[in-house]
Amino acid sequence: MATLKDIAQRAGVTATTVSRVINNRGYISEGTRKKVYAAMEEMHYQPNELARAFSKQYTNTIGLIVPHISHPFFIKVISNLESSAAEKGFELLLCNSKEQPEKEQDYLDMCISNRVAGIVLCSKYVQTREFRKMNIPVVNLERGGDDDTISVQCDNYQGGKLAAEHLIECGCKSLLHFGGVAGKDMPADRRADGFSDVCKKAGIPYRILVSDRLQYGSMHYEDFIRRALQEFPDVDGIFASSDLIASQVIQVGAQMGKRVPEDIQLIGFDDVMISTVTTPQITTIHQPVEEMTELCVEYIAKSLKNESVPQKIVLPVRLVQRGTTVLKTEI
């Protein structure tokens, strides 16, 4: 394996110069940079990120801990965060906890041992106090965080309000919300609060049902949806807490002879790709994932420079109307 000395010899410069090029320190002429990069490429040299970190106490790596790597929302988070990180010179260390507390703790230890520059947490169980002791910047993304940690969220309450208002505008008389997971306290639970407040004010009967951890973990809600539609046959408007659940409402409804939007009008949440590949396409609440992930990386970068960052930011959401809802004026 090539060393700095080997690269220096091939490029005709000193090992110190090679180190300065790799770490982007001090003035180096463009010609010298090109010679060093050419030598690195010829000798298949990959800088040891961890070794480089000892001089600056951290690597150019951001750890991301998610509970479900295959969930449509987290797929979008991963993709956007990787792009945002790359734009600022960071790499991404992806950790899939699968909702297992012990697995999250293992990933926590791995992030610490790899001297990450910062952590983006989408999981429930990791305690951020341990990171603060080591001065590792932590950003909670759509996660309930400690009082003194950075939090980036969308306006979940407003999303619930927009969904209920739109279903009522579409003429729905009996509403149902498939909400979050029983026993979990997450920012997404505020969607149910906004939904219920609008229904109460409008005098519209409504029900809120929450799933269990097994359904959330497997991402299969079909039986849960089927039981709800059987128990509440009068429901003509549904707000699902994710586009994933909304897509399964379409599937189960078709099996039960309930058409969307003719018999049931439907709204999802997230505005991920699955909302545009169903028939009909899903009306949804757009969650600004791209902007949220950009802020996560920006706040980590600023924290590393000891610059002040807001403790909590809540970004606005918006309704995206597609084929699963029809306004009364459109009928």
Secondary structure (3-state) at 319: strand
- Return the pLDDT at 186: 83
156-288+319-330: which CATH topology?
A: Rossmann fold (3.40.50)
CA 129, 121, 102: angle at the middle one, nearest 5?
70
What is the structure's pLDDT at 100? Answer: 82
Q: What is the average per-residue pLDDT within 320-325? A: 98
Query: Which residues sit opposite 207 in a β-bridge?
Result: 176
Selecting from 3.40.50.2300, 3.40.50.720, 3.30.2290.10, 3.30.360.10, what CATH number does the domain 61-154+289-316 have?
3.40.50.2300
Residue whose tokens read 């309450």: 157
Q: Residue 130: its pLDDT value, please? A: 59
* pLDDT averaged over every residue in the chain: 88
Residue 25 has pLDDT above 80, yes or no: no
pLDDT digits (tens, 9 = 90+) for 293-321: 999 999 999 998 889 899 899 999 999 99
Q: Is the dihedral of CA 38, 42, 43, 49 positive or negative?
A: positive
User: What pairs with residue 254 in β-bridges?
Assistant: none
Beta-bridge partners for 118: 62
Q: Quick check: 26 pLDDT over 80?
A: no
Specify whether domain 4-47 bears CATH 1.10.260.40.
Answer: yes
Q: How many CA atoms lie within 13 A of 201 on its CB side?
A: 10
Same fold, 4-47 and 61-154+289-316: no
β-strand partners of 111: none
**Residue 272 confidence (pLDDT):** 97
- Please check the confidence at residue 51 and state whether its pLDDT lies above 60: no
pLDDT bracket for residue 210 (50, 70, 90): very high
Could you tell me the residue ranges of all domains in the chain?
A: 4-47, 61-154+289-316, 156-288+319-330
Total-model pTM: 0.81
Main-chain dihedrals φ then ψ at residue 14, nearest 5 degrees: -85, 160
- The span from the CA of 312 to the CA of 214, in Å, is 31
Name the amino acid, one letter, at 107.
Y
